[in-house]
Amino acid sequence: MAAQEDKDENLIAHLEALRSMLVRCLTVMALVLPPMFLIAPYFLDWLIRTIIAEAPVTLNFFSPAEVFILQIKLAVVLDLAVCFPYLARQIWNFVLPALYDNERRFIRSVVLTSSLLFCIGVVFCTFLILPMIIKFGVSFATEDIKAVFGISNVIGLSLWLAVAFGIMFQFPLVTYSLIRSGIASYDAVKSKRRYIFVAILIISGILTPPDIVSQLMLTLPTYGLFEGGLYFARRIKKPSE
């Protein structure tokens, strides 16, 4: 009976800790959101200048509230980006007591590396891939066919691709973690390269718009990162059975 009461008390304590963590996270996000809304128009202008810097095209909006709604969406994205370190810290503090020391060190390194890879993917997409996609689209314009791009479509595509690149840039970390944890051996992963390439190609096709250019622009660097993760994992190679 006493053991059951202790279990109930522990469950209540964990739920209370979870509630407190969620309240703190939502409070900080609510406080940061208003200044992000003020910054959103300037961020939108910067993003537009970055992705269409070398393309002879202007962006258009087709309803009175379209740009305003777009700025709200950008404000939410900026809010999440700015608050991410605090949110990650709160989540980390919540799960920390349940982990062993070696698990804490491993997860800490994974979280930091994952965040860095996500940021690299977003930057790579914003400064290299998106301008190339815009220039590729404009290249089809002729004297009779004018390029008229809607701002919501372009910015929506930009945000979606940035997230997709951030996610796909996790591949080297996934490869390294699988081999280090012993879930898969180095030789087994190396022998499945062709299947992994096909899997990356399929995932890229799901995450990108229905055109081969965007798909290849995501597939090729992702596979290159997979090979990088495989290279670093070679130092902890375990002989296959």
Burial group, residue 124, by CB count within 10 angstroms (0-12, 13-18, 19+): middle
Q: Residue 43 and residue 155: Cα distance in Å, rounded?
A: 11
Q: What is the pLDDT of residues 79-97, one digit of tens each?
A: 988 888 788 777 777 766 6
pLDDT band at 206 (very low <50, low <70, confident <90, very high): confident
Cβ contact 37:72 at 8 Å = yes
What confidence category does residue 41 fall into, taking pLDDT thresholds of 50, 70 and 90? very high
| Residue 30: predicted pLDDT | 93
List, for residues 164-174, the tens digit of each pLDDT value.
888 888 888 77
pTM: 0.74
Counting runs of H as helices and runs of E as strands, what totals does the chain give?
9, 2
Is residue 159 scored above 80 in pLDDT? yes
